[in-house]
Amino acid sequence: MSLALVLFLSVAAASETLSPPAAVSVTDRNGRVLRTSLPEDLYSVPVLFDDVSPWVVVATLAAEDRRFYQHSGVDPRAVARALWQDARAGRAVSGGSTITQQLSRALEPRPRTFLGKIEEAWRALRLERRATKREILQAYLNRAPYGRGARGIEAAARTYFGISSKNLTLGQAALLAGLPKCPSRCDPVRFPAAAAARRRVVLGRLAAWGEIDAGTLSAALRERTCVTDTARADLAPHFARRELERSGGRPVRTTLDAGLQAELEGTVAANVHALSAYRVTNAAVVVLDNASGDVLAWVGSADFRDAAHQGQVDGADARRQPGSALKPFLYGLAFERGFSPSDRIDDAPTFARGGFSPRNYDNRFHGVVTLREALACSYNVPAVRLVEKLGVPDFLGVLRRFGLTMLDRSPDRYGVGLALGDGEVTLRDLAAAYAALARGGVWLPVREARGDPRGPARRVLSREAAYLVTSVLSDNSARAEAFGEDSPLSLPFAFAAKTGTTKDYKDNWAVGYTPDWTVAVWAGNFDGRPMRRVSGVTGAGPILRDAALALERRYGTRPFPVPAGIREADVDPENGLLAGPGCAGSVREAFRRDRLPRRSCAPQARAGSTLSTAAPSIAFPRPGDVLRLDPSTPAGAQAVALSAEPADAAGEWIWSIDGNDLPEHAARAWWRPSPGLHAVSLTFRPRAGEERRLSETVRVIGAAGS
556: left (phi over 0), alpha (psi -120 to 50) or beta: left
Phi, psi of 157 (to 5 degrees): -60, -40
Cα-Cα end-to-end distance for the chain: 78
Q: Distance of CA 297 to CAs 266, 431, 553, Å?
A: 12, 12, 15
- The amino acid present at 275, given as its one-letter code, is L
* HEC sequence for 216-251: HHHHHHHCCCCCCCHHHCCCCHHHHHHHHHCCCCCC
The rounded distance, in Å, linking the Cα atoms of 489 and 537 is 8
Task: Find residue 201's DSSP bridge partners.
Answer: none
Give me the half-sphere count of Cα atoms (radius 13 Å) on the Cβ side of residue 244.
19
Those residues whose C-beta lies under 8 Å from the C-beta of residue 599, and which sit 6 or more positions away, are 577, 578, 615
The rounded distance, in Å, linking the Cα atoms of 64 and 278 is 60
Q: Distance of CA 198 to CAs 151, 187, 281, 321, 585, Å?
A: 19, 10, 46, 59, 83
Strands 150-151 and 43-44: parallel
Q: Kindly write down the DSSP assignment for every residue of 328-391, as one continuous string.
A: HHHHHHHHHTT--TT-EEEES----GGG-----TTS---EEEEHHHHHHTT-HHHHHHHHHHH-
* Residues with catalytic roles: 64, 324
Instruction: Using alpha carbons, select from 569, 624, 615, 296 the residue that is nearest to residue 431.
Output: 296
Q: What are the E-state strand segments in 146-271?
A: 150-151, 252-253
The rounded distance, in Å, linking the Cα atoms of 135 and 48 is 9
How many Cβ atoms sit within 10 Å of the Cβ of residue 619? Answer: 22
Q: Is 151 helix (H, G, I), strand (E, B) or coil?
A: strand
Element (H, E) at 683: strand 676-686
